[in-house]
Amino acid sequence: MDKMNEVLPISLARTKEEFIAIGASEIVREARECERITIEQQATVTHFKLAGYCSVCGAERDFIVDRQCGAQELEKGWIPNWRERLVCPVCGLNNRQRAAAVRLRDIVTKDTTENRRHIYLMEQVTPFFAWCNGTFGQERCLGSEYLGPGLKSGTTVNGIRHEDIEAMSFSDESFDVIVSNDVLEHVNRPRKALSEIWRVLTNNGHLIMTVPFGTDWDKNTTRAQIVDGDVLHYSEPIYHGNPVADEGSLVFTDFGWELMDWIKEAGFSDVAMAVYTNTSLGHLGGVQFFIEAAKEHILM
């Protein structure tokens, strides 16, 4: 495959209407057709490999697709969780993480200023952080995990830094890029966290964020809240896997399009869905996207 594929083609959608239009595009139609054929062919197996080009590794890979992370069982066969699988066997990143990584690399390497970009990741014990550290160097990457309510942000426990993203220990304008991979849904006060992200970004700073998002939902829904130290559940509790907590992480908010307003209200000058669906790059699963926001400029 040619060099072109080392860059991930991204379409930006700033509104639900723009997002729907991209969903009807040829590239998404082609991906859905590939999914349909693949599901048919793989109906009887427990897992399979799908060939494609990993833009993170810069090489052809056989992406791993299995039933982890909630495959959908059909009468005949199954539909994998495309967003969470399609794992590259070499860099170890899944579908959405590969897209976020390539975008991050794009932003960082395009920067030609003297002061090289500093990156904060809301994760530290993950393949994504390991990739970032290996690619950009330790001196430019800082990662953290949320280790529990009793700790002060900035504390290190057994080599892992703790940060509560509602009250980070960093001074204003500390980072040029912040990567938040499926974190915001686990935060008690997501709007406070968004304000904190805005505060610690430099003026030309970028946010790259993945979050479970209901593209049919106009409003966000609060599932749970901490009030006076107690967790109040408004819906059946949902927990996601957490590499530093066996019990998983509670989902506090289901996000819909209102999240885009919250990001703007936190101070960001521009916010968009970055749609990255692409069959040859192993980005299947209908309209796949992450959120990108700019502190003081317009996204390109």
Which amino acid belongs to residue 285? G
Helix (H) / strand (E) containing 193: helix 190-200
> Which residues fall within 8 angstroms of residue 185, CB to CB, at 6 or more apart?
211, 212, 240, 251, 252, 253, 254, 255
In the complex with Zn ion, which residue's Cβ is closer, 8 or 142? Answer: 8
Cα 123 to Cα 125: distance, rounded to the nearest angstrom:
6
**What's the full length of the chain, in residues?**
300
In the complex with Zn ion, which residue's Cβ is closer, 55 or 144? Answer: 55
In the complex with Zn ion, which residue's Cβ is closer, 81 or 94? Answer: 94
Considering only residues 31, 50, 86, 91, which one is a binding residue for Zn ion as defined by CB under 5 A?
Answer: 91
Cα 236 to Cα 245: distance, rounded to the nearest angstrom:
20
Cβ(66)–Cβ(80) below 8 Å: yes
In the complex with Zn ion, which residue's Cβ is closer, 1 or 90? Answer: 90
Other Cβ atoms within 10 Å of 251 Cβ, number:
17
Least gap, CB of 87 to Zn ion (angstroms): 9
Tell me how far apart the 2 most distant CA atoms of the chain are, in Å. Answer: 58
Other Cβ atoms within 10 Å of 12 Cβ, number:
17
Q: With contacts defined by CB under 5 A, how many residues of the chain interact with Zn ion? A: 6
In the complex with Zn ion, which residue's Cβ is closer, 146 or 276? Answer: 276
In the complex with Zn ion, which residue's Cβ is closer, 57 or 299? Answer: 57
Least gap, CB of 4 to Zn ion (angstroms): 17
Structure tokens at 116: 């090289």
Structure tokens at 42: 């793989």
> Could you say whether residue 88 binds Zn ion (CB under 5 A)?
yes
Among candidates 159, 212, 151, 155, which has minimal Cα distance to 181? Answer: 212
In the complex with Zn ion, which residue's Cβ is closer, 9 or 23? Answer: 9
**Of 83-91, 146-154, 264-272, 287-295, which part binds Zn ion (CB under 5 A)?**
83-91
Least gap, CB of 241 to Zn ion (angstroms): 21
Residues in region 45-74 near Zn ion by CB under 5 A:
54, 56-57
Least gap, CB of 129 to Zn ion (angstroms): 15
**Of 76-84, 85-93, 100-108, 246-254, which part binds Zn ion (CB under 5 A)?**
85-93
Least gap, CB of 269 to Zn ion (angstroms): 33
Phi, psi of 34 (to 5 degrees): -60, -40
CA distances from 30 to 50, 119, 211, 286 (A): 15, 34, 24, 9
Binding mask 7-46 for Zn ion (x = CB under 5 A): ----------------------------------------
In the complex with Zn ion, which residue's Cβ is closer, 51 or 90? Answer: 90
**Of 24-32, 89-97, 189-197, 256-264, which part binds Zn ion (CB under 5 A)?**
89-97
For residue 142, the cross-strand partners are: 120
Structure tokens at 288: 């796949």
**Of 21-29, 31-39, 81-89, 133-141, which part binds Zn ion (CB under 5 A)?**
81-89
> Which positions touch Zn ion (CB under 5 A)?
54, 56-57, 88, 90-91
